[in-house]
Amino acid sequence: MTNNKTIHTLSVYVTNKPGVLARIAQTFSRRGYNIESLVVSSAIDGNFSRMTIGVSGAEDGLGQIIKQVGKLVDVLHCTDHTFDDAVVKEMGLIKIAVAAEDRGEALQIAEHFGCKTVDLTDESIILQVVGDPAKIDALMEMIHKFKIIEIVRTGKVLMSRGVEIT
């Protein structure tokens, strides 16, 4: 996700029913947009869910897509928060192969980025990092000197600052 395209972050508030996600994904797909990340969670009221969707594609058609998604049955609203004042976080788990003699350096880098070590064996470390996507990208650049075995990233979640509802 570090190439030079803008990934827009959309918040979609929907009724919690089967098939809603498929209809939303199909709307993006038909217009040539790619869903880069997707996080779905229950809202305060279990009858509704919030989808946070990272999407890339042509800038000029995105406004129309947002309107189309907003008109779908079971969608209450769809908002682009890409340039809004919001708290944006992502979580990543990164497993690296580290020999005993390099473990200190790996843990020092992890500490700098505020990582938590969630698993440690003689041959590997699993780091958990939480922060904005740029922070996780920067960590990835720093630990490339070690053998990265596996990476899992959640995708963005966000919440508007202040009293405004996301």
Q: 12 pLDDT band (50/70/90 cuts)?
A: very high
Amino acid 60: pLDDT: 87
Using CA atoms, how far residue 139 sits from 47, 60, 65, 109, in Å, is 38, 33, 33, 8
pLDDT digits (tens, 9 = 90+) for 68-115: 999 999 999 999 998 889 999 999 999 999 999 999 999 999 999 999
Other residues' Cβ atoms within 10 Å of the Cβ of residue 127: 22
Q: What whole-number percentage of the chain has pLDDT above 90?
A: 84
Q: 61 pLDDT band (50/70/90 cuts)?
A: confident
> Are the C-beta atoms of residues 75 and 19 closer than 8 Å to each other?
no
How far, rounded to the nearest angstrom, does the alpha carbon of residue 109 sit from its chain's CA centroid? 22
Q: How far apart are CA 124 and CA 146, in angstroms?
A: 10
Q: 1 pLDDT band (50/70/90 cuts)?
A: very low
Amino acid 165: pLDDT: 85
Amino acid 90: pLDDT: 95
Please give the mean pLDDT across all residues of the chain: 92
Q: How far apart are CA 33 and CA 152, in angstroms?
A: 23
Q: Which helix (H) or strand (E) holds 14?
A: strand 8-15
**41: pLDDT strictly greater than 90:** yes
Mean pLDDT of 55-66: 89
Q: How far apart are CA 47 and CA 32, in angstroms?
A: 30
Mean pLDDT of 26-46: 92
Q: Which two tokens stand for residue 33?
A: 């947009």
Taken in order of first residue, the domains within the chain and their CATH numbers are 8-80 (3.30.70.260), 87-158 (3.30.70.1150)
Q: How far apart are CA 32 and CA 44, in angstroms?
A: 33
Mean pLDDT of 139-150: 95
Predicted TM-score of the model (pTM):
0.82
Dmax over CA atoms of the chain, in Å, equals: 58
Residue with the larger pLDDT of the pair 59 and 92: 92
> Are the C-beta atoms of residues 162 and 86 closer than 8 Å to each other?
no
Q: What whole-number percentage of the chain has pLDDT above 70?
A: 98
Q: 4 pLDDT band (50/70/90 cuts)?
A: low
